[in-house]
Amino acid sequence: MKALFTVLLLLSGYVSFAQDAWQQPLQKVLTQLDTARAYDTWLRNIDSLETLTKAHPGEFLLQYYTGWACTQSSFQAPKGQAEPLTEKAATYVKKALGMMPQNTEALTLMEYWLSARINASPTRGATLGGDSKDYSDKAIAADSTNPRAYLLKALVVYHTPALFGGGKKKAAPLVAAAGQRFAAFKPDNALAPHWGNDIYEQLAADYKD
C-alpha cells in the first residue's frame, strides 16, 4: 500500500509539472494580450504561443489560443498582412475544433476565423458568410450563456447588408443579448476564454445616441 501511495504521489507530481510547463507560460502570454494595443506585441506573443503549442500539441487551450491570437491580430494587421495571419490561424483553429467539436468556445473561434477570412478578402463573403452564421448558431446552441457566441453573431448580422437580412437594426437584439451575457459572465479560471468585451463595447457604442 505504501509503495502504491508513493507511485501515485510521483504520478501526481509529474502531471502537475507537465501542466505547469505550459499553463504558467500561457498565463503570462494572456496577461500581456489582455492589455496589448501594439500590433508588434501581438506578433511577439503569437511566436511564444506557437512555440508552446509545438511543445505540447495535445493541449486544447494552446491550439485554441494560438488560433485566436492569429485571428484577432489579423483585424489590426497592416494592409496585406491580414491574409497570412488567417492562413497561419487555420491549422490551430481547425485542430482545436477537431479536439472539442461540441465546445462553444471552439465553435465561436471557428466563426471568428471565418469572419477574419472575409475581412482579409471581402469577396469571400458570398461563400463563407453562411458558414460563419452557422457556426455562431452552433456555438449558441452549445452554451446559450456564452457572450462571445452572441457577439460574433451580432457582428455577422451587423455587417450583412439589409438587402440580405442584416444591418444595424436587425443586429440590435443580438447586441443587447451579448451585453447582458458579458455583464453576467465570469470565467471558470484564469485560463478560460474571456476575450470580447472590448469588441462588444465598440459595437454597443454605435447604438448610443
Query: What would the pLDDT profile of 109-146 be if each residue is shown by its tens digit?
Result: 999 999 999 999 999 988 998 899 999 999 999 999 99
Query: What would the pLDDT profile of 167-191 be if each residue is shown by its tens digit?
Result: 999 999 999 999 999 999 999 999 9
What pLDDT score was predicted for residue 209? 62
pLDDT exceeds cutoff 90 at 194: yes
Buried b (16+ CB within 10 A) or exposed e, 69-79: bbbbbbeebee
Length of the chain: 209
Share of the chain above pLDDT 70, in %: 90
Indicate the pLDDT class of residue 13, thresholds 50, 70 and 90: very low
What pLDDT score was predicted for residue 20? 76
Indicate the pLDDT class of residue 2, thresholds 50, 70 and 90: low
Query: What would the pLDDT profile of 55-111 be if each residue is shown by its tens digit?
Result: 999 999 999 999 999 999 999 999 999 999 999 999 999 999 999 999 999 999 999
Q: What is the pTM of this model?
A: 0.89
Give the chain's domains with CATH numbers: 21-205 (1.25.40.10)
Average pLDDT, the chain: 91
Q: Say which residues have a Cβ less than 8 Å from residue 201's Cβ, sequence separation at least 6.
A: none
Query: How remote is the C-alpha of 159 from its chain's centroid?
Result: 19
- Which long-range contacts link 120-128 to residues 24+ away (Cβ below 8 Å)? 120/74, 120/82, 120/83, 120/85, 120/86, 121/83
Whole-angstrom Cα Rg for the chain: 19
